[in-house]
Amino acid sequence: MENVLTAKNVKKVYGARGNIFTALTGIDLDIKKGEFVGIMGPSGAGKTTLLNIISTIDTPTSGEVLIGNSNIVNMKEEELSSFRRNKLGFMFQDFNLLDTLTVKENIILPLALSKINPKEIEKRANEVSMILGIEDILNKYPYEISGGQKQRTAAARAIINKPQLILADEPTGALDSKASTELLQAMSDLNENNDATIMMVTHDAFAASYCKRIIFIKDGSLFTELVRSGSRKEFFQMILDVLRTLGGDTSDII
């Protein structure tokens, strides 16, 4: 399978002379097409730093990051914004929906600057809202829908441009357990049925158990990796075991 993401020896050093902090020590990471990868690790491990670099929001101090065949490290801002729009899908903990737009308008927002014709936009909006089960709320505003529906709207928005890679940062962080489960099932279906490639940062072992592979980082380095082979429940237990050996306050990470 082809790599969607290839990160080589990615380092991130914050600060200036005399007061520097190495947040990533030299990370190597490959994600193949069709994977659903979780990134876990204690607070301060470097998860957000890594996600921001892959999202093209931040740049590494050194190292290479390829998404598909594009080296995103040296891209100019203009090229980057079109790259983000066309190749990446984003989901955040706090949904990032615009309150003045309807659900449907929020979903099609990533296509606003594209050259895709209105008919095709309409068709895609219908497709993605069916996939996420939000076809009945397309004309509502974000303040009229539940947290779970907001996050499924955000998921629909993340996939409408058929991104090479979906990047999710704690997408269940603001959801109750029922809404979390529904969202994770939807993400898992997207991955299974639509061949979506997903990288999700989470501190939640239950959320992580929906992934097919988990990469654990600690102190800016790769700590270990788990690949799911058996049931989701077995995987959940394996994840808990690694989190225990990783240390830190488990009441926070479980």
User: What residue ranges bind ligand ADP (CB under 6 A)?
Assistant: 14-15, 21, 23, 41, 43-49
- State the nearest-atom distance from the C-beta of 49 to Mg ion, in Å: 8
Q: Which long-range contacts (CB under 8 A, 24 or more apart) does 53-56 make?
A: 53/7, 53/10, 53/12, 53/24, 54/5, 54/7, 54/165, 54/167, 54/199, 55/84, 55/88, 55/90, 55/167, 56/80, 56/83, 56/84, 56/88
Residue with smaller CB distance to ligand ADP, 44 or 247: 44
48 binds Mg ion (CB under 5 A): yes
What residue 247 binds from ligand ADP, Mg ion, none (CB within 5 to 8 A, per partner kind)? none
- # residues near Mg ion by CB under 5 A: 2
Q: Which stretch binds Mg ion (CB under 5 A): 40-48, 81-89, 102-110, 210-218?
A: 40-48
Residue with smaller CB distance to Mg ion, 159 or 207: 207
The two beta strands, 62-67 and 70-71, are antiparallel
- DSSP letter for 168, please: E
> Which residue bears the tokens 């980057």?
80
User: Is there a contact between 165 and 72 (Cβ–Cβ < 8 Å)?
Assistant: no
User: Is there a contact between 50 and 27 (Cβ–Cβ < 8 Å)?
Assistant: yes
Residue with smaller CB distance to ligand ADP, 14 or 136: 14
- State the nearest-atom distance from the C-beta of 185 to Mg ion, in Å: 24
161 binds Mg ion (CB under 5 A): no
- State the nearest-atom distance from the C-beta of 46 to ligand ADP, in Å: 4
- State the nearest-atom distance from the C-beta of 47 to Mg ion, in Å: 5
56 binds Mg ion (CB under 5 A): no
Residue with smaller CB distance to Mg ion, 47 or 150: 47
Secondary structure element (H or E) that encloses residue 252, with its range = helix 250-253
172 binds Mg ion (CB under 5 A): no
What residue 242 binds from Mg ion, ligand ADP, none (CB within 5 to 8 A, per partner kind)? none
Q: Which long-range contacts (CB under 8 A, 24 or more apart) does 79-86 make?
A: 80/56, 83/56, 84/55, 84/56, 85/110, 85/113, 85/114, 85/161, 86/114, 86/161, 86/163
- What is the Cβ-side half-sphere exposure of residue 183, based on CA atoms within 13 angstroms? 31
Residue with smaller CB distance to ligand ADP, 94 or 136: 94
Residue with smaller CB distance to ligand ADP, 142 or 171: 171
- State the nearest-atom distance from the C-beta of 118 to ligand ADP, in Å: 40
By the criterion CB under 5 A, which residues form the site for Mg ion? 47-48
